[in-house]
Structure 1
Amino acid sequence: MKEKNPEYLTTLERGLTVLRSFNKSQPEMQLSEVAAATNLSPAVARRCLNTFVELGYVVKVGKKFLLTPEVLVFGSAFLASASIDSVVGEHLQRVRDETGDSSSISVLSGEDILYLAHIPTNRHIRLNAGVGTRFPAHATSMGKVLLAYMTETRAVEYFERAELKRFTDLTVTSKDTLKQQLIDIKKKGYCSVLNELDYGLVSVAVPVFDDNGNVLAAINCSTGASRIAQDELVRTRLPLLKVAAKDIQYALSKWPILLHSLLKN
């Protein structure tokens, strides 16, 4: 295990863990639920929660705690300082305009992918996504691309921690099967997924590199499986995504703030 920096603040880590424990399935929790979700003692969880209440990031209603809109300050600060829309938005928009599919860029965050930008389709599809959306990496095309290019150390850590949850009958839940898929994806340079995160969804994704060959992010096209067959999606969208990935790579090389931020991810 990597030795922690002597300047590392465990108290801050615990506080951030408490904030991140709130999600779509647990938007409000009692103290005992927060403690269980974070593996913190009730006393530590209580101190963290009460601090966030004082700071305005959490509110207490009866016995339950929930986040306030103030937490959006953290995300908006990144978006404003990194100017991600101005750097990658036009390239994702071009893919969307040429295909009619939604187009997104994401990075790996723990066992999930985290959306940094999303250009939606005008058509109705079952998957709702936007900036800040998280999905389990193992069930998405962008996630599998990012997993395929992990360093050996990070791959070991991922497979030690990851719980490969089943979302459909086609979701890959075997770690051995996923490992083999990742080898194949890295050889091909792209990933396409059908009906793994939800039925009726098909997507294809490619990596975005920096000038030194490091993978920074992944971009994709996603649409309804009733609209286009998977092999046709790959045939027609993959060339467009590869061009967009190259254009984004070039744009990032001219925008060091965002480039360095993604490299630290």
Structure 2
Amino acid sequence: MTPIKSPVNTETGALLSVEDEAGTNQARAKEGMGGLAKGLAIIEAFGADTRRMTVSDAAHLADLSRPAARRCLLTLVDLGYLAHDGKFFTPLPRMLRLGGAYLSTSSLSQIAQPLLASARDKLQESVSLAVLDEGYAVFIARAEAVHIVSTGVKLGGRLPAYCSATGRVLLGGLPEQQARAHLESVPMKRFTDRTVANLDGVLNAIRRAAEDGYAISDEELEIGMSAMAVPVRNSAGQIEAALSVSVFSGRVNLETLRENFLPTLLETAGRLQRSL
């Protein structure tokens, strides 16, 4: 376990007292740019369920006043990140630059891409890599299979951790007390009649994923769609990411996932781990 170090004054090297540390944190907070934080909150509010928004929507989703939300939205329009038709604000392609900054500098996603492509070619299904971010599984790399109808998961997309195979694998990497605290802090809703959306049920699913070495979400997010995920560990043995495949239930059943898909996912995760 990494020891907890006392805070140090970077100028003198002396240990800081609790009072000094609090003062330092307050000073940093005062130096922060409130306007930037508000704009980023609005940007993060866009997603698969929020493809466009009004000023009122932005104020509600980002917890801002209407005037502040309007100023932020209009600034984003001026900068080319949003379009405005007089009522609704919608993202423009320039928004991709924000996510691209992470993807283009992340060694994990770069190393994973050819391995995902190889697994995709073998399984003939889309294969993705995700990390945990504030209760969501966020997809940082993906190899898309060509089908008439896709599974809907996109690069940069987010899925609720509690009811997705990827999320349960990632939550399994946390101490149970931390995972429980997270689950108690998020509203769990049922997307289908198969969604496990209660604390004990989700914790049991996370424990089972940790014991089995994989997780399956069977039509919990959308009827007709299933997913399987396995962990990707770093050199210290900690779960760094989750490797997953999403399929339509009518095309691939659970038995096929376990017997035919799981070995390929585990092999790919192992190759990725050895590259980290």
TM-score by structure 1 length? Answer: 0.84
**Amino acid paired to 2:132:** L
1:64 aligns with 2:85: no
Specify the alignment match of 1:181 in structure 2. 205
Measure, in 2, the Cα distance between the counterparts of 1:154 and 1:43.
37
- Which residue, out of 167, 171, 176, partners 1:143? 167
Q: Distance in 2 between matches of 1:119 and 1:5?
A: 44
Please list every run of 5 or more consecutive structure 2 residues that lacks an aligned counterpart in the other structure.
Answer: 1-21
| Residue 205 of structure 1, CA deviation | 0.9
Compute the RMSD of aligned alpha carbons.
2.3
- The aligned residue for residue 251 of structure 2 is 227
Q: 1:112 aligns with which of 136, 139, 148?
A: 136
Q: Determine the C-alpha separation between the residues in 2 that align with 1:182 and 1:33.
A: 34
Please say if residues 117 and 130 of structure 1, whose CA atoms lie closer than 8 Å, have aligned partners that are also in contact: no
* 1:137 CA displacement: 2.0
Moved more, 220-229 or 108-117: 220-229
User: For 1:243, what is the secondary structure of its paired residue?
Assistant: helix
State the number of aligned residues.
250
Match of 2:183 among 149, 159, 163: 159
Q: Distance in 1 between matches of 2:210 and 2:108?
A: 26
The gaps in structure 1 that reach 5 residues or longer are 254-265
Pairing of 1:75-90 with structure 2 (within 5 A): 75-82=99-106, 86-90=110-114
Partner of 1:24: 48
Instruction: Select the structure with the greater relative contact order (CA < 8 A; seq sep ≥ 6).
Output: 1
Determine the C-alpha separation between the residues in 2 that align with 1:197 and 1:26: 17
SS at match of 1:28: coil
Query: How many Å apart are 1:53 and its aligned residue?
Result: 3.0
Normalising by structure 2, what TM-score?
A: 0.81
Question: Which residue identity lines up with residue 146 of structure 1 in the other structure?
Answer: L
If you compute each CA radius of gyration, which structure gives the higher value, 1 or 2? 2
The structural deviation recorded for 1:243 is: 1.7
2:173·2:239 contact (CA, 8 Å) conserved in 1? yes
Please state if 1:7 is matched with 2:28: yes
Runs of 4+ with >6 A deviation: none
Q: For 1:29-70, what per-residue CA distance to the aligned partner results, in whole angstroms no more than 9, with x for missing partners?
A: 221221111111223223322332333323333133332222
In 1, Cα distance between the equivalents of 2:103 and 2:119?
21
